[in-house]
Structure 1
């Protein structure tokens, strides 16, 4: 389908234009604010051609498209007409504080990223031209391109004012005016003169903080947030006959003075504290944060929360002139994800996977990882783990070398010139080494561990099987049975029984997005009444997790089932869990496989809800669960279809 058709289809599946209260897009995903997320048909969206995945995180409903997201965004934006009718905030009671914070940061920074990326790329090109002597820094050509690149950074408060106003639902043009107040040449001159004369600026006897707000981030966000409260108040107290004049007058005068006297200084000081904290980390443990971020970036991207830390990198460059944390770590992570995708492409025997692996790998090493993340790495799990390991190794190196990024942009091969700066080629050289380390480690780990078969099951449980078993040829089955015997009703489906007495509930009710969003597989969940677990299928045990909280099975026709008893129960280290089987054991429906001391697990503070997943959804893409309610162990609870 074309972009118009895809956009129309997506809009319909998220509940229609009346359900959309906000919409932005980043490099690869549409970011919806929905009035009611329950109206969205997530499963149908995931199956829609052109949609790579769906993530519900940070108060947003995110539809991953890939590099064509801009083309899909346009028809949806036109249909929603948010610019015309205004943007109403989604009901706040549906979001926690953390979700609202991430949603706000994402909504403010996502729209301005293209401008910042363009400026960063211009800076990178200039650095390259200067380093190789192609342009003299004193030439007019260099100066013109340089000030073109500086515009996005210098006037960043005005850019952020516009997007913040749209996020806070106030007038964006008044917000940009407030940003202009901070950058007006007269105010800048007054600040410079006051600093030189070591005096202070005052307004009616009140001191005005002598700060330079060009390239700042936090002050304007605080000021526009204040505007969102002052503007409605001005509207309320203004007489109707002259409201057109008095409302903007009161808003600008009160908010502008509040910004210069209070909020601007607070934001400036907060930004300085953040920069000082970064310098402290760089002085004593420069390796720590890049190591952690390099390893966790894929998981942050998976949940869409990576935009919450982008402002830190921007603030670093604006206050100190360079970033040693966010961009270098992200570079290593992106290279690692690309390497994992390449390794899968080289090792797989599936033509479509190979083609996707190569194309997604190229995109990832150039700075956009969603195609690799959702198309390859999350799909097979082992490459995702390898990417985390490789990213952490590369992050450790760039952290130890205190590598500096001077220009920003999407972290990848295209923006490597952004590491050329005041230390010459030092930062570029070590950035390349760190990226190479991440690439090699991730590629090697993926190439060694990846197998086309059983990847979903192993990664879902988090460990290798205790005993690798060869995949058996499906045996001939008797037809006609309607009981939960684990037998194949036909060659394309398999029945899955309830593994324990209790209440059957949808996966969406599991309080863990990894299960609830079907990232690891499709199926259902059980709220167990007792701790006696039995096999849900006829087949064999292929994996018993070393802490015995999870068991993997394979049915006779190849459906891979994971039973994961409780959430985060791996932390118990096997306490209260007693496996009755081992890898390689043959089982029938109802064969006892695990005893769990449920009361003790609950006393330890863990949720005992038990997801039952079909993990090889590439072979069994459709899993239908029975009607929620009380079931007994052995009753039919679901069916998987090829």
Structure 2
């Protein structure tokens, strides 16, 4: 009954169906998209039984309900017909921000595939270099299309994710993506002969690896499906609607939507070439800065003639040099995010994406999985790319071979008759890494708060929260699993953390009472004002010391305040006696609470640092 009552009170407090656009949940939070967050009284929501806190993030209103959130969510959804699919919030955004949000939202599910493909490409560079794999072998050839497939068929995968976002029949959207990539159409593009459908001219363009055309097309399909759904009689709908939607969508994709990127690219190509003729340094700066957006829209295919010139061994002074600065910048930005991010999953994704961009020149994982999603790293990469591009334009950097620019491919800038060209290319690579990394670090990232972080943020909002556990000793924090004692590492005794001590005084981690003190003084039990039972166990097997090196400053039943000294320990003596000095800190009644959350990424904790939370 508590779920229904809490759900009703939340429903009323946030404004009911008139204010709720979407409702979904994660591990501990009910996540609502509201038309107007300002009309909600946060304190009123916090006062509802079962609610542990609220927070506002990325346009959503998060209500923290703990591990039982699924039951609250089920009760909540019975009160109204709420979609779980996010819709546009009332927060004002410009067109670019809206476009970025749509792209990143649709691209996110593709990141594992793109990252996998990128790392395969890295292997195809490294393995031949170390003599493990021959570039003429069939294994190399097969692995090549392993690496290419996620990128080439990206429009098909995007069609599926975009269909889910826009409410389009997924397989019809995928079919349209297939039309744009069909081998027969690709052959027509390669042949270059005029092609038309129903008398309408089709622009011959390659849509492999493109993003914007299929997203626009699936968005239009939302209205195309609605139109045919309205006019086709119900008795014929199953037969005629798929036919009508596929025909019209396919024609629009090839005749109207798809060519937009090509036409825009041709215009950009003409503009850049004109600028290059007037001020080559400026053209290269613009190309280097805009390269991520050019690749994203698929407009880079409009520069194919310049690529072909480069492949014919004529020095390229525009596209490949610009890609050098841009590719390296994407990799550096991703690595900076990997080092700065708190979320472990983001760290791993960003690191892999950075390696892919730096070593193989494959920037899609970095662009779509990291920089575009968090925006500021993208701005950092574009600024750095622009500056490096200007430098290349002034120094006249040229590429003498067609290869995707990366750190490994730097030899493409070697020319025996021009000594400084390769040196300048190396300077650009180094500068791109340093400048991008520094700017990304300075700009920071607006990281999506994880469930654990959200809980920490809520409980940290009040400095006197009795469910916060401060470090009882200064030292290095380690996971409880790393303690060399199965009673603690297996968490049989409860959830918690451990600290390798750096000082000899053990203090109270919260306000409470001393509930237990072992005669050997090696362990002390504390009970907080909220009923949390905490065991501070000083060392492993130190019970065998029979109190030697330990002095107690309190007795059982004493009331203590946070920071008050409890024990003094001669840790040098304990170590000399051959004992491990690690201090497990365990909530022995963990089962009576919703969750016990250790604070991650804290190399060294001081006495006033919170290291554990109980909710």
TM-score for the superposition, normalised by structure 2: 0.45
Instruction: State the structure with more CA Rg.
Output: 2
TM-score for the superposition, normalised by structure 1: 0.43
